[in-house]
């Protein structure tokens, strides 16, 4: 089979670009062939061989009929993995399946809030959270900005933004785009506020497998044992977003009751290839994941060292998790839409900070999950524009 991602030890920019431009994914399709893509959170790396083998085995058998074998193992395997990785003990019977993480989040919004209810987010925040709240008839976004100094969760800010109509906290930990991994103190304080105001907490932990050395992921549910829905999937760590398979651990009686009231097919179902790929990653993919994480940390560190020496005006906090870099470029005169200037003048596509909520205007988000030659080319193009516009 022809593989189209790039290898961890790739040495050639043109070889990598040829492979990536042959893919159908939005990352490399959205812009022209003269643009380097470092925006959407997809990795450019070749998929884990164990994942490809699992999918190939289904294809080789032509096993495309009704098939619940893989799907029925997901809850158990997720629970075992959480215990092994994070010491988090959960009942597999409380795990529900969704087609992707946002599917689960929008289901919670729809079932557990009403028009006019407020949902708290922690800006800067992954834009689909905002879109999901705004797209759920009449729900209101309540902004609880992270502290700018260190991107810390601030329970006093949370307390101050809650109104009687506030019903839910929608958070992600590790946090996209800042890469923060929240501490026990931060999570304890936030859980206390949620308890006091009877908020449902939807904790999106899809990045929990992608921590850099020195950080420890703490699942939120133990901090608020009866009011938390935890979303997860293998889509970030094993790059499976197109395969549509996610899990929700539902530690909230009201949510479980509402889900159980729904007609059997209204939420759709995980497909066989997504379930097989997820199981393969979770059960057999850890050696691949370890090598990938090592590469991602080296990419992060390489970006840090190049920014420090070549563009010290860029302000950022080195992420503790994710393969994303949230860069404040306000020291450069890039106009109202910095990512647009980088795209038109530098032919490099980073995510715009404008859609991440208040304060995002002067930021761009760079994805470093690619080969070293591509990362260097992305940095070269970005810094070329920045240094032309230094104030
Ligand atoms: C915090 C967060 N949640 C959810 C998603 C999307 O997950 P899915 O494709 O499973 O909906 C992403 C993708 O980058 C993300 O960063």
- Band the pLDDT of 3: cuts 50, 70, 90: low
pLDDT digits (tens, 9 = 90+) for 203-236: 999 999 999 999 999 999 999 999 999 999 999 9
Q: Does domain 56-284 have CATH number 3.40.640.10?
A: yes
User: pTM higher than 0.95 for the full model?
Assistant: yes
Q: Is the CB of 133 under 6 A from ligand 1?
A: no
Cβ–Cβ < 8 Å for 386, 332: yes
State the chain's mean pLDDT as an integer: 96
Q: Where are the domains of the chain?
A: 13-47+286-388, 56-284
Q: Is the CB of 275 under 6 A from ligand 1?
A: no
Q: Is the CB of 42 under 6 A from ligand 1?
A: no
Same fold, 13-47+286-388 and 56-284: no
User: CA–CA distance from 130 to each of 97, 105, 110, 193, 222 (Å)?
Assistant: 23, 11, 14, 22, 26
250 CA distance to ligand 1 centroid (A)? 18
Q: Does domain 13-47+286-388 have CATH number 3.40.50.150?
A: no
- Across the range 63-92, mean pLDDT stands at 97
Q: Is the CB of 204 under 6 A from ligand 1?
A: yes
351 CA distance to ligand 1 centroid (A)? 15
170 CA distance to ligand 1 centroid (A)? 13
324 CA distance to ligand 1 centroid (A)? 13
- Across the range 95-112, mean pLDDT stands at 97
Helical H segments across the chain, by residue range: 13-21, 26-29, 49-61, 74-86, 101-112, 127-134, 155-161, 184-196, 253-261, 272-284, 286-310, 338-346, 372-388
Cβ–Cβ < 8 Å for 361, 335: no
pLDDT digits (tens, 9 = 90+) for 276-305: 999 999 999 999 999 999 999 999 999 999
Q: Is the CB of 386 under 6 A from ligand 1?
A: no
- Band the pLDDT of 391: cuts 50, 70, 90: confident
């Amino acid at each position: 089979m022809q593989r189209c991602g790039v290898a961890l030890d790739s040495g050639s920019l043109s070889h990598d670009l040829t492979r990536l431009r042959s893919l159908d994914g939005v990352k490399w399709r959205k812009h022209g062939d003269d643009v380097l893509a470092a925006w959407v959170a997809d990795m450019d790396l070749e998929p884990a061989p164990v994942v490809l083998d699992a999918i190939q085995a289904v294809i080789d058998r032509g096993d495309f009929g009704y098939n619940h074998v893989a799907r029925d193992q997901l809850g158990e395997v997720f629970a075992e993995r959480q215990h092994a990785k994070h010491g988090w003990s959960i009942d597999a019977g409380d795990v529900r399946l969704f087609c992707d993480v946002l599917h689960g989040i929008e289901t919670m919004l729809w079932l557990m809030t009403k028009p006019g209810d407020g949902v708290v987010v922690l800006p800067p925040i992954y834009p689909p959270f905002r879109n999901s709240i705004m797209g759920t008839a009449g729900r209101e976004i309540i902004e609880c900005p992270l502290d700018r100094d260190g991107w810390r969760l601030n329970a006093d800010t949370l307390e101050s933004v809650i109104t009687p109509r506030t019903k839910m906290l929608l958070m992600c930990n590790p946090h996209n785009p800042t890469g923060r991994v929240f501490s026990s103190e931060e999570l304890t304080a936030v859980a206390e506020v949620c308890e006091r105001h009877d908020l449902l907490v939807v904790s999106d932990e899809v990045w929990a497998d992608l921590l850099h050395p020195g950080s420890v992921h703490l699942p939120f549910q133990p901090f608020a044992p009866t009011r938390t829905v935890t979303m997860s999937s293998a889509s970030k760590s094993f790059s499976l977003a197109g395969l549509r398979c996610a899990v929700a651990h539902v530690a909230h009686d009201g949510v479980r009751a509402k889900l159980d009231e729904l007609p059997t097919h209204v939420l759709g179902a995980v497909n066989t290839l997504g379930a097989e790929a997820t199981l393969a990653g979770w059960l057999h993919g850890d050696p691949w994941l370890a090598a990938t994480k090592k590469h991602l940390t080296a990419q992060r560190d390489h970006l840090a060292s190049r920014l420090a020496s070549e563009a010290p005006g860029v302000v950022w906090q080195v992420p503790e998790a994710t393969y994303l870099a949230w860069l404040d470029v306000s020291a450069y005169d890039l106009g109202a839409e910095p990512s647009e200037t980088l795209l038109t003048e530098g032919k490099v596509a980073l995510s715009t900070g404008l859609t991440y909520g208040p304060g995002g205007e002067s930021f761009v988000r760079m994805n470093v999950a690619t080969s070293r030659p591509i990362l260097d080319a992305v940095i070269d193009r970005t810094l070329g524009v920045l240094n032309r516009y230094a104030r």
